[in-house]
Structure 1
Amino acid sequence: MNAPDMKLSRRSLLSYTAVAGALVIATPLASCGRPQEDAAPAKPKGPAVAAGPFVAVRADESVVIGFPNPEMGQGVDTSLAMLVAEELRVDFEKVEVQQMPLGLMLGEDGNVTWKNLPQGSGGSTSITGHWEPLRKAGALARMLLVVAAAKQWGIAEAELTAENGVVTHPASERSATYGELVKAAGDIDLGEAEPELIAKDKFRIIGTSQKMKNARAIVTGQPLYGIDAEVPGMLHAVVARSPHFDGIAKSVDDSATRKINGVRDVVKIERPAPDGPYDVQAEGYAVVADSLWAALKGRDALNIEWDTGPFADESSAGFKSHCEQLLEGRGQIVRNDGNFDAAIADADNVHEANYWQPYVSHSPLEPQNAIADVKTDSVHIIAPTQTPSSANRMVAAALDIEDRLSITVVPTRLGGGFGRRLSNDYAVEAALISKAVNAPVKVQWTRDDDLRHDFYRPSGMHHLRAAFDGEGKLTAWTHRLASASKYYRRPNLPETDYWQAELYPDNFPGNLVDNYRVEYFSAKSGAPRGSWRAPAHTANAFVVESFLDEIAHDRGEDPLALRLRILGEDRELEYGQHGGPTFNPGRLATVLKLAAEKAGYGQKMPDGQGRGIACHFTFGGYVAQVVDVAIDDQGGLKVLKVVGAVDIGQVVNPNGVRAQHEGGINDGLSTALRLAINVEGGRVTNANFDSYELMKIADAPVDIETHIVENEYPPAGMGEMGLPPLAPALANAIFQASGKRIRDLPIADQLA
């Protein structure tokens, strides 16, 4: 999810006032590039969601900061609050944080837009999107408190300081706590005055390692997640969905289900139009009951004969063959610099390879769930969603509700997202069922439901060719991809635009080679597809960085030296995709050299061990990783160490950066080792973690190091940056250790 372009007006700060003994400051308004959505919530029994879009400074000296974006483990409950607390000049350890509910309003044009700030988690945009607005919210609160003290004491504001929750007049040693100034501050009118932001060299919180605010609540099992939430009078529902892509039921017998004690009803959910966007993912039959157990038993008793659907012949092997066949022809040229064909013909040597990547599942630890309470004049949704505004929009469309402001959405903490919860099909299911039974309903998915009805990372076959002249200069490069795009059901989007989700033409080596061609082949598949952590970067980094290693080996060059030679010096190049508007190859070279230095890259490894290197530019951030592996005589693989270097500009919370880097490494390793969704007969056959084998603790790297580059660049996110380089660095290390080249994922049994 890309953050909307935010254009702040000269004074775009919302109201401030003293309410119930607290000074509350709203976050700055944002003008968004496209209509979005938000609405106020009611407090559920489970998660705490009562904080509105305010900074609240109370008379008892307590401070509450609302964080706008859903928290799914990326640490925004801490990092976004740090932005406010820095400018407010308070002790961050004493700050309380709360999830903001969705806030929407009607804009001047009559369209629904954000009431305060964009509120979505995806695309690693939380820090970049809120860097200035949230700091301004804290600065406004500080400014009001300083002005209040100045008026009370008859002293010029410039003579006062604010630090650690206290306003002080150093000359007279007079001081007052924020709590003592709250009431007076709420009565002040600042007019057109703008708060002054703290200079970087005066930062006390930003750039320091802070503990995650909700860490203790998580490890002590406090109710934070959607799966914890309850509302009075709530019924429970589970859904039997068509196991076949776009399939429907030929017959349904629910007589046995309705006899089970506690079962209230069976509700049909219509499948989405096969040629239109998803609201729900599949046709289904929801069993509604007094308890989750009764609903599950009722679903087991359903007797449904399913039609096999229009993709009954699809299989994983068949789809791979389909992609291979497409690559034998000519596809859609989406970028074509110079004269690629002539450069290939004139080349001194040409390198070529194919790479394959399967469908993979998000498989968050917390399966999908949502509560909906549909009334005649309002709808209330509680859900672990990355995009609460999308949930509002989709529920409005599904229920044919014109007034979207009548739909409140309360986002809870997510037990994993990784892009799966950018889709809100589970919230729509809950709303449809609630309307049908005229009661609040909680829909709960099982692990089997989650694996078999995901929006999978697109699968595809990549073909790369590169040419060098007699002096060793890279003269031509092409990246050709046959895949089933995640854009395939976007409304009003022609197939000629499907490539935009799968290939980023400005990625390496775009703008670094004179003759450069990017070519796309749109493959057909019935498998639902969607965004999967760092979307196309995860696929393309594996392909490009593995191919570079192959080229270096064939040429007798060091893989690091080859990369540095192509990247060249520090400079800004145009980058038109998400993460731009520029890409600096010098910054990528810097993290490569730093990771190599810290890892001892180039040192001789013992027999049976290998050391691989890879890097990537993702969403504005630069990450390089060096992976050390050992392979035994039976092909057993052990990842000994991963050393990474990270450049994301201004760092807010180094502790959070390290956590995200380590999490990305483990997620990337788990995916590369064994993960693949298997399709047979137009349906997913993986049912649980016995057939979709997530990495176990014993497979995790023995040691992970994270080295953060400090510079003066603006901040970028870190949620997705650590994952893309891992798979190619791993594959390159395996080659050095064993001589076996990995071109297909997952690695699985290829080393035996």
Structure 2
Amino acid sequence: MSANISRREFLRMSATATGGMLVTISLPSCSGKGTTEVATAAASQFDGLAPWGFVRIEADTVTIGARGAEIGQGIKTSLPMLIAEEMDIPWSMVTVEQLDYGIAAADNESGLAYPYGAQGAGGSTSIPGSWTELREVGARIRQLLLQAAANYWDADPATLTTADGMVIHPDGQSVSYFELAQPASAIPVPTEATLKDSSEFRVIGQPTRVADCEEIVTGNAFYGIDADMPGAGVAVVARCPYFEGSIESFDDTAARALPGVRTVVELPAVDAGSGLETTLAAGIAVVADNTWAALKGREALEIKWQRGRWGKDSTQALEQRAVEALAGRGVDARVDGDFAAARERARRVVEAEYAMPFLSHATLEPQNATIALEKDRALLIASTQSPSGASRMINRMTGIPRPAIEIRMPRSGGGFGRRLESDFVAEAVLIAQATGTPIKLMWTRDDDLQHDWYRPCGLHQLAASLNDDNQLTGWLHRAAATDRRFGLPGFAEAPAWIACLDPDAIPAGCVTNYHAEFVPLEFGLARGWWRGPLPSFVAFANQSFMDEVAHAAGREPLEFQLAVLGEAREMDYEGHGGPKVHTGRIATVLQTAADAIGYGRTLSPGHGIGLAASFVFGGYAAHAMEVSIENGRPRIHRCVCAVDVGQVVNPLGVEAQMMGGTIDGLSTALNLEITVADGRVQQANFPDYPLLQMAEAPDVEVHIVASDHAPSGAGEMGIPTAAPALTNAIFAATGKRIRRLPIAKQLG
């Protein structure tokens, strides 16, 4: 239909419009060829009109589809805010619906198109990856509505304006988006869009509570663990507790005899070479009518496990291997200048060793998956950070084409990187294939802590050289750690230190002689991504040692680190969040946190202030803490954090993420570690893995640095600097240096 719709036709279409406007926006970078076919084929709760923009305009509301996996980071709110801003609609008019995973057949090289674009959650990519794309969606919709109004009034669209869901004529007349919706849907979608200047923002930058806040606080929010399907059996699995162990024998007679137990299924171990992008422990699944019956059936199983090659290993033995390995040479990750020569010329050399344990994710909602398999299609409901990974997993295990695999993405009760893995999906598929019925797989807390994909542990040796003026002239960072890859496909070309050592972390690039070296260790424990993976691992060692070197030089830690950072400038950064890192932005958050806490003031006896700053996935964060010691435990009197995430979409969301990340960081610093003895994890539940209690948690004061830089995600920025700020404050208060986490009873 022509864009030049007559006034008579406009009125006719408006009068018959009952369902509002469903808008399709396509970006070639995602859909490739076959865009029209994709838009038609991609069925969703938005009636198939999916590519990138997902907007339903009704009389009093505009419903916006949220494409990303919501794991508590707030993107179900912040991503729709981007569309609302460019559409010129007030947030009070908006309702939000979670979109299913979008995938469709397409005429392109891969044979697939992704109508909604990227829908996973990881690496703090949701906001930066959507900043332009989703704003363009809103801007194009606004242009459609302007053109429809121009046709109605026979006016130049350039003379029209929009506000509050209305198009306004220069003479004061106005028409609502709802009235324009139907005729606008007949106009070709513009290929380009003009975006607002930040000075025009009315939605972006406004403190906005999460879209489903009321549902969350009243217990009505829907999580993956709430899912059910008609006829579904509830499954729990007894997994081999030994790394790479197996089932020697089992007797399920008693389990099968229990009321409600339907069947028992033996599950094979899946190793890293399977091509499934996961590993699975050997196990026995009990399928029952309900969770209680399944758990009782699991208790009744009699299983004899066979230890694998790691059956006698322990974290204690691993640390000894780390010490021995560091006595030799590793792999150079970065070499600038000549540290050995700087060391020889130095007036003083400072050396220290820092140790960090394995960590579990401990998501509040344990892993789960509800799945129904048919011959040529599947339905999965799961709390996942990687719907694409789950889709690939089901396709490889069943042969069902990926466009025929429907994946619903309810809110997750925490992710932290754990739900990037799809092992729980693979287990659900195996059980559903064996039983021929829909399956709801449930993990218990014990399952979750003992069969996680853990943050790697590591032993870090650091050395720094100082000249006669107590200036930093050299820095050596050697790390012995278990690498992330664990033999999984897709990591063969990645650096071995990908989640264990950041060769570009400050002070890299700030000191002439810099050497980062990685020594890989082997261990049977599965390792995976953990909230703020590289920075959370490296910042404790680097920022603690920076403080230590400052004191050795007889200089104030703040002044010393600002001097190391030097003149504000961009430096190359090859890690995630690059390609550049800006020293001036690090210095600003560090100074902001220091100023906010009153760094340098006279403190009460026994009190100390510690600082730490880091670059995290494109953003910058710093902590300042005032601490004293009471009954062998740190008491945090004040906790201040400063953050620069560029242009802020939702300040309330940034504050929430910094607060939550800080609490997470303090939990890891004070209490958390996963230990292994006799080839199995020792921790089983929260009494063994104690998260920070409410009585211990400090008030967290968040300072957002105003910035016009492109936005970065905030979900992982609160963690890395919390631990070193705390331990640096402990040193300032007591003179005792904490070089090993968790702190636990080291102060008793």
- TM-score band by shorter chain is over 0.9
1 CA distance for matches of 2:441 and 2:274?
24
Paired residues of 1:57 and 1:182 also in contact (CA < 8 A): no
1 CA distance for matches of 2:414 and 2:94?
25
Q: 1:268 to 1:81 in 2, by over 3 A?
A: same
2 CA distance for matches of 1:140 and 1:622?
32
- More deviation, 452-461/181-190: 181-190
Shift of residue 507, structure 1, vs aligned partner: 1.1
2:113 is the counterpart of 1:116: no
3-state SS of paired residue (1:546) = helix
Shift of residue 263, structure 1, vs aligned partner: 1.1
Shift of residue 718, structure 1, vs aligned partner: 0.4
Residue aligning to 2:578: 580
3-state SS of paired residue (1:698) = coil
Residue aligning to 1:522: 520
Q: 1:366 to 1:590 in 2, by over 3 A?
A: same
Correspondences of 1:170-185 after superposition (within 5 Å): 170=170, 172-185=171-184
- More deviation, 109-118/663-672: 109-118
Stretches of structure 1 that go unaligned for 5 or more consecutive residues are: 1-16
Paired residues of 2:67 and 2:99 also in contact (CA < 8 A): yes
Paired residues of 1:42 and 1:410 also in contact (CA < 8 A): no
3-state SS of paired residue (1:590) = helix
Residue aligning to 2:331: 332
2:559 is the counterpart of 1:556: no
Paired residues of 2:147 and 2:157 also in contact (CA < 8 A): yes
- More deviation, 499-508/612-621: 499-508
Pick from 450, 461, 464 the counterpart of residue 462 of structure 2: 464
Residue aligning to 2:736: 740
Paired residues of 1:280 and 1:428 also in contact (CA < 8 A): no
1 CA distance for matches of 2:107 and 2:679?
45
Q: 1:381 to 1:20 in 2, by over 3 A?
A: farther
Q: 1:529 to 1:156 in 2, by over 3 A?
A: same
Pick from 428, 434, 451 the counterpart of residue 453 of structure 1: 451
Q: Which amino acid aligns with 2:231?
A: G
Residue aligning to 2:219: 221
2 CA distance for matches of 1:204 and 1:188?
27
2 CA distance for matches of 1:599 and 1:492?
45
Pick from 723, 726, 744 the counterpart of residue 727 of structure 1: 723
Shift of residue 282, structure 1, vs aligned partner: 0.8
Q: Which amino acid aligns with 2:743?
A: I
Q: Which amino acid aligns with 2:555?
A: E
2 CA distance for matches of 1:179 and 1:189?
18
Shift of residue 296, structure 1, vs aligned partner: 0.8
Residue aligning to 1:596: 594
2 CA distance for matches of 1:654 and 1:435?
46
Q: 1:27 to 1:349 in 2, by over 3 A?
A: farther
1 CA distance for matches of 2:59 and 2:30?
37
3-state SS of paired residue (1:502) = coil
2 CA distance for matches of 1:293 and 1:206?
47
3-state SS of paired residue (1:430) = helix
Paired residues of 1:27 and 1:134 also in contact (CA < 8 A): no
Residue aligning to 2:60: 61
2:636 is the counterpart of 1:639: yes
Shift of residue 280, structure 1, vs aligned partner: 4.6
Pick from 528, 540, 543 the counterpart of residue 542 of structure 1: 540
Q: 1:49 to 1:316 in 2, by over 3 A?
A: farther
Paired residues of 1:51 and 1:98 also in contact (CA < 8 A): no
Q: 1:456 to 1:20 in 2, by over 3 A?
A: farther
TM-score (norm 1): 0.93
Paired residues of 2:462 and 2:475 also in contact (CA < 8 A): yes
2 CA distance for matches of 1:494 and 1:160?
56
Paired residues of 2:50 and 2:115 also in contact (CA < 8 A): no
1 CA distance for matches of 2:70 and 2:697?
25
1 CA distance for matches of 2:133 and 2:579?
21
Residue aligning to 2:343: 344
Correspondences of 1:593-632 after superposition (within 5 Å): 593-632=591-630
3-state SS of paired residue (2:54) = strand
Stretches of structure 2 that go unaligned for 5 or more consecutive residues are: 1-12
3-state SS of paired residue (1:677) = coil
TM-score (norm 2): 0.94
Q: Deviations over 1:386-436 (max 9, x none)?
A: 01000001122223x162222221111000000000001111111111111
Q: Which amino acid aligns with 1:268?
A: E
Paired residues of 2:85 and 2:201 also in contact (CA < 8 A): yes
Residue aligning to 1:652: 649
3-state SS of paired residue (1:393) = helix
3-state SS of paired residue (1:501) = coil
Paired residues of 2:375 and 2:400 also in contact (CA < 8 A): no
Q: 1:83 to 1:368 in 2, by over 3 A?
A: same
2 CA distance for matches of 1:739 and 1:276?
52
1 CA distance for matches of 2:271 and 2:421?
17
2 CA distance for matches of 1:205 and 1:496?
40
Shift of residue 33, structure 1, vs aligned partner: 12
Q: Which amino acid aligns with 2:578?
A: G
Paired residues of 2:624 and 2:640 also in contact (CA < 8 A): yes
Q: Deviations over 1:430-465 (max 9, x none)?
A: 111111111111000000000000001000100111
- More deviation, 269-278/686-695: 269-278
Q: Which amino acid aligns with 2:218?
A: T
Give the % identical residues: 44
Q: Deviations over 1:69-119 (max 9, x none)?
A: 100110001110110000111120221111111112345113434233111
3-state SS of paired residue (1:356) = strand
Q: Deviations over 1:531-578 (max 9, x none)?
A: 000002101000000001111111111000010001011111111111
Q: Deviations over 1:443-494 (max 9, x none)?
A: 0000000000000100010011111221233221111110111112222755
Paired residues of 1:279 and 1:398 also in contact (CA < 8 A): no
Residue aligning to 2:305: 306
2 CA distance for matches of 1:492 and 1:730?
37
Paired residues of 2:617 and 2:713 also in contact (CA < 8 A): yes
Q: Which amino acid aligns with 2:673?
A: A
Residue aligning to 1:375: 374
Paired residues of 1:49 and 1:412 also in contact (CA < 8 A): no
Q: Which amino acid aligns with 1:254?
A: D
Residue aligning to 2:691: 694
1 CA distance for matches of 2:72 and 2:598?
32
Shift of residue 208, structure 1, vs aligned partner: 1.1
2 CA distance for matches of 1:449 and 1:365?
13
2:667 is the counterpart of 1:670: yes
Correspondences of 1:398-477 after superposition (within 5 Å): 398-399=397-398, 401=399, 403-477=401-475
Correspondences of 1:308-323 after superposition (within 5 Å): 308-323=307-322
Q: Which amino acid aligns with 1:347?
A: A
Q: Deviations over 1:39-69 (max 9, x none)?
A: 96788xxxx9999564323342321111111
Q: Deviations over 1:22-47 (max 9, x none)?
A: 21223543626999x9996788xxxx
Q: Which amino acid aligns with 2:488?
A: R
Residue aligning to 2:74: 75
Q: 1:407 to 1:347 in 2, by over 3 A?
A: same
1 CA distance for matches of 2:513 and 2:342?
7
1 CA distance for matches of 2:606 and 2:138?
55
2 CA distance for matches of 1:364 and 1:245?
22
2:199 is the counterpart of 1:201: yes
Q: Which amino acid aligns with 1:303?
A: E
Q: 1:51 to 1:266 in 2, by over 3 A?
A: farther
RMSD between superposed Cα atoms in Å: 2.2
Q: 1:33 to 1:255 in 2, by over 3 A?
A: same
2 CA distance for matches of 1:276 and 1:330?
32
2 CA distance for matches of 1:375 and 1:522?
44
Q: Which amino acid aligns with 2:476?
A: T
2 CA distance for matches of 1:42 and 1:231?
19
Residue aligning to 2:5: none
Q: 1:726 to 1:59 in 2, by over 3 A?
A: closer
Paired residues of 2:272 and 2:486 also in contact (CA < 8 A): no
3-state SS of paired residue (1:627) = strand
